[in-house]
Chain A
């Protein structure tokens, strides 16, 4: 069965969705991702949807589910790279993806995750934050 690869990068997981999702694939992703978070005790998840040309209410729900589930497991989810057309369509559809945090691209998403970890865990040194000195 087709599966979407989940990459481990330190404390974070990176998922790049390159194909248009059908329902089973999305549901598999949801369970795989939650299992992987548990396995590595990951602190953050980046879901790159820059190649996704359509998000309907079902996929929106899956993204929301992932965000809430990972939150319960103490991992922050950031959705990155949403296409403008997809964002406008979601708004027209009436889907605001509550609970999902977004960032413009993987780089900014990574920054966001690091800053979130920084505020929740002050023992860790955050190298790119030089404003508090």
Chain B
């Protein structure tokens, strides 16, 4: 019975599409050609699914296809930069259009009530799914950016044969420390370097947590059999470290990268000399 009620939409697919795109245009939720294509596919799949499936719409195989499609559309709209409102508007407009057609083809008020209720139920459920998909699409972007940031923010530089340096820019939290340690230690292994310089000139503040992360990095480097020098200790960092009672005495610290490099040269028994100009 109910099946017949909603299956009537299939015959009016084109009209449905026209009304839908009209509403979408009025509410400003469209973006042209790509959208038309998507909408056409959705309207066709959705109405076919209604026509083919039995009363328990949601569980049918046909509807899984529709759900997959709408989830795909929503996540792609999320990535294309639609606002949450525009995204929600998409299916809500479809519901308005479908309701309008239903009211035209079903004359019996009680039947119309049943049909609208069912249509609402199905489409509301899909709206929730699209919102989830939209959020996930955005979250994917964020997590990719986080990955990119952490990758570009931990460059390990070979400054001399046997010496690597890693300038840290920004705050050191535990996940960042882990990436820093991994990159630094891997570079030490790959290059066979016995000295690593960790430059913290670009770290805005050193609190006890950051200090602990630095100490961990130094300990791990030493466990591997290399020495770690921390450079770029600004006066205010030295002050806070002492005021906070952080013990850095077991760690080799230098004020500047240049003096750290000099220490590293000493340790490797290297010497930088000025060339004598003859004549």
Also in contact, A104 and B181, with CB within 8 A (given A80-B225, A82-B225) = no
Partner of A104, one of B178, B225, B269: B225
Also in contact, A104 and B185, with CB within 8 A (given A87-B220, A91-B220) = no
A88 to B179 Cα, complex, angstroms: 11
- Is the CB–CB distance between A82 and B223 below 8 Å? yes
Residues of A with C-beta under 8 A to B185: 84, 87-88
- Is the CB–CB distance between A105 and B220 below 8 Å? no
Which residue of chain A has its CB nearest to the CB of B174?
A92
Nearest 6 pairs of A and B residues by beta carbon: A84-B185, A102-B225, A103-B225, A87-B223, A87-B220, A91-B220
Q: Does A131 interact with chain B (Cβ within 8 Å)?
A: yes
- Is the CB–CB distance between B220 and A88 below 8 Å? yes
Chain A nearest CB from B151 CB (Å) reads 17
Known: A97-B223, A101-B225, A104-B193. 17 other contacts (CB 8 A): A78-B225, A82-B225, A84-B189, A84-B220, A84-B224, A87-B220, A87-B221, A88-B181, A88-B182, A88-B216, A102-B222, A102-B223, A104-B188, A104-B224, A105-B192, A108-B225, A109-B225
- Is the CB–CB distance between A104 and B219 below 8 Å? no
Q: Does B229 interact with chain A (Cβ within 8 Å)?
A: no
The size class of the interface chain A forms with chain B is 20 to 34
Q: Does B150 interact with chain A (Cβ within 8 Å)?
A: no
Interface size on B, residues (CB 8 A): 20
Residues of B with C-beta under 8 A to A80: 225
Chain B nearest CB from A14 CB (Å) reads 16
A73 to B33 Cα, complex, angstroms: 82
A81-114 near B? 1/0 per residue, CB < 8 Å: 0111101101110001100011111001100000
Residues of A with C-beta under 8 A to B181: 84, 88
Q: Does B226 interact with chain A (Cβ within 8 Å)?
A: yes
B180-196 near A? 1/0 per residue, CB < 8 Å: 01100110110011100
A88 to B177 Cα, complex, angstroms: 10
Also in contact, A102 and B219, with CB within 8 A (given A84-B186, A84-B189) = no
Interface residue ranges of B220-268 to A (CB < 8 Å): 220-226
- Is the CB–CB distance between A104 and B223 below 8 Å? no
Interface residue ranges of A23-81 to B (CB < 8 Å): 78-80
Residues of B with C-beta under 8 A to A83: 189
- Is the CB–CB distance between B225 and A96 below 8 Å? no
User: 27 pairs across A/B with beta carbons < 8 Å?
Assistant: A80-B225, A84-B186, A84-B189, A84-B220, A84-B224, A85-B182, A87-B220, A87-B224, A88-B178, A88-B181, A88-B216, A88-B220, A90-B223, A91-B216, A91-B223, A96-B219, A102-B222, A102-B225, A103-B225, A104-B188, A104-B189, A104-B192, A104-B193, A104-B225, A108-B192, A108-B194, A131-B269
